[in-house]
Structure 1
Amino acid sequence: MAKPLFRLMTELSSRKTISRITGGFAKSRLSRSLIPWFARTYQIRLEDAEKPHTEYMSLNDFFTRRLKPGLRPVDPTPSSLISPVDALITGMGPIEAGQLLNIKGQDYTIEELLNRSPRMINYRDGFYFVLYLSPTDYHRIHSPVTGTILEKERVSGKVYPVNEFGLRHMKRVLSRNERLITYIHHAFGEVAVVKVGALNVSSIRYADQLPMDLTAGDDLAYFEFGSTVVLLTENGTFRPRTDLDVGSKVQMGERLGELTGKAKAGK
């Protein structure tokens, strides 16, 4: 009885109005007094932030903080696919005929995840990672490859939670929630970085003055509260690390595996 009741309450509360209200407060100066409490509650290392916590103007300002230089070294191997975020891997595996299978007991399709983009054919037999960012994590999103932005799309949707409960008990949240999709061409093909909004995430924003040409580890975007990134690789272009699995923790800049195949010059 408890789970169906909670699911109903989540359905009723997962509206953008609720997210706008909570997001509005988090951006207000009134919220800055909560920064020390927030850091203690979620065991966030204040000393890792690029500036003292007293210099952040709001809880949201602190939440989207940058880190001190050098704290997230980027794997320098040109063929590496790096993690774009600090996250928990909640799903990973080969994409089978356009399907992402058994993500917390549910299957997804490339078609729905990418909003029926013509580019979806490039990912029907690729590889995927589902990377969940908890409130504890650093929340800026970086480019997983060195390459050029091919296309950007914002997909309207709900704001259901993308935590353990949401993924397991809500219906197909990764493809029903609001999404910001970035396609990036690299030396071996392309990747899709799908940023999925969530409950209390009032927006997903691109980095200021985002260039078209990116180096692996460059600023790409950020969430304003905890959420998820789905990272997709093109068909036949990726070999994952053998020691990673669902439940592994990764940091931004960490190598997820090797981009493979014959290098491509065109886009």
Structure 2
Amino acid sequence: MNRWLMRSMTELTSRKWISRITGRLAQSAVSRRFIPSFARMYGIQVHEAEKPIGEYGTLNEFFTRRLKDGARVIDADPATLVSPVDALITGAGPVKSGTIFNIKGQDYTIEELLNRSPRTASYVGGFCLVLYLSPTDYHRIHTPVSGTVVEREHIPGKVYPVNDFGLRHMKRVLSRNERLTTYIRHGGGEVAVVKVGAMNVSSIKYVEPLTQQVEKGQELAYFEFGSTVVLLTEDHTFTLRNDLMPGKKVRMGESLGTLRLPKA
């Protein structure tokens, strides 16, 4: 199938009503019968799930499953920024003059990604990590730092795919898709956790009750089907772990690098 036709078909399936239909199917009782084959197809580590596979009532309930206690280790060092998700790193690099360069061959501006938020100015010389969740991955999103939630913003948008094809061949999907952004103030600055919706994702949901004070590793939100988290740090406040790069897998709670904290 040529690239033009694939792109045209993707445009047609980016409508929210198609995602709503897909979401209703995944939330229906009939979807329960597909859970075992879905888990086998994607090689999901079912032994990590909070409950036995037979106890999930719908495919969506299984997809948004919690893990058993202790399945992920949260790096406790106050100076580390941890991964909020299990994911593949698809972009990592400094923000230069407000631009994020070469995310699968495309450039993004902080202004468009953050929906022209007044907070944009704090991130124009920061750092960006793009974390892609495939259907194989655990789909709950956790806080990458301990601190205070200072703002939450819902940004309406499309539901283009955020896989390799979508990032390469659709126009700037990370800043055109629906997003939920959480800004968290920590001891050395602020981070923005941008949760990007995707094709066949019926919604991105916050874990309730919402709290202002959060601890590193605390549940923040979850995706219904695969998507992406863009993690942004403020200007000159973060140093990436030296062995991380695009193409590397990370797990929730794993250190991504070091935050600049004020001296005691």
Question: 118-127 or 255-264, which moves further after superposition?
Answer: 255-264
Q: Deviations over 1:78-123 (max 9, x none)?
A: 1100000000000000000000000000000000000000000000
1:199 partner letter: M
Is contact 1:160-1:166 (8 Å) kept?
yes
Which residue of the partner structure matches residue 109 of structure 1? 109
SS of equivalent to 2:108: strand
Q: Deviations over 1:51-103 (max 9, x none)?
A: 11111110000000000010110001011000000000000000000000000
Matched ranges for 1:157-196 at <5 A: 157-196=157-196
SS of equivalent to 1:69: coil
Give 1:261 shift.
4.3
Which residue of the partner structure matches residue 127 of structure 2? 127
Give 1:45 shift.
1.4
Matched ranges for 1:47-58 at <5 A: 47-58=47-58
Give 1:262 shift.
2.3
Counterpart-to-counterpart distance in 2, 1:46 and 1:76: 26
2:60 partner letter: N
Question: Taking structure 1 as the reference length, what is the TM-score of the superposition?
Answer: 0.97
Is residue 252 of structure 2 the alignment partner of residue 248 of structure 1? no
Q: Deviations over 1:218-258 (max 9, x none)?
A: 00000000000000001111111010001000000000000
Counterpart-to-counterpart distance in 2, 1:86 and 1:125: 26
Which residue of the partner structure matches residue 70 of structure 1? 70
Which residue of the partner structure matches residue 231 of structure 1? 231
Q: Deviations over 1:197-237 (max 9, x none)?
A: 00000100000212110010000000000000000001111
Which residue of the partner structure matches residue 95 of structure 1? 95
Is residue 89 of structure 2 the alignment partner of residue 83 of structure 1? no
Which residue of the partner structure matches residue 206 of structure 1? 206
Aligned pair in 2 of structure 1 residues 145, 38: CA closer, same or farther (>3 Å)?
same
Is residue 40 of structure 2 the alignment partner of residue 21 of structure 1? no
Counterpart-to-counterpart distance in 2, 1:81 and 1:13: 36
Is contact 1:162-1:198 (8 Å) kept?
yes
Counterpart-to-counterpart distance in 1, 2:47 and 2:238: 36
1:50 partner letter: E
Give 1:13 shift.
1.3
Counterpart-to-counterpart distance in 1, 2:46 and 2:178: 30
Count of residue pairs brought into register by the alignment: 264
Sequence identity (%): 66
Runs of 4 or more consecutive aligned structure 1 residues displaced over 4 Å after TM superposition: none
Question: Taking structure 2 as the reference length, what is the TM-score of the superposition?
Answer: 0.99
Is contact 1:187-1:263 (8 Å) kept?
no
Is contact 1:82-1:144 (8 Å) kept?
yes
Question: 96-105 or 208-217, which moves further after superposition?
Answer: 208-217
Aligned pair in 2 of structure 1 residues 130, 225: CA closer, same or farther (>3 Å)?
same
2:179 partner letter: R
Counterpart-to-counterpart distance in 2, 1:16 and 1:212: 30
Is contact 1:188-1:263 (8 Å) kept?
no
SS of equivalent to 1:31: helix
Counterpart-to-counterpart distance in 2, 1:210 and 1:28: 27
Give 1:24 shift.
0.4
Is contact 1:189-1:263 (8 Å) kept?
no
1:122 partner letter: S
Structure 1's unaligned 5+ residue stretches are: none
Counterpart-to-counterpart distance in 1, 2:133 and 2:187: 28
Counterpart-to-counterpart distance in 2, 1:99 and 1:168: 17
Counterpart-to-counterpart distance in 1, 2:34 and 2:210: 30
Which residue of the partner structure matches residue 9 of structure 1? 9
Is contact 1:85-1:140 (8 Å) kept?
yes
Structure 2's unaligned 5+ residue stretches are: none
2:245 partner letter: D
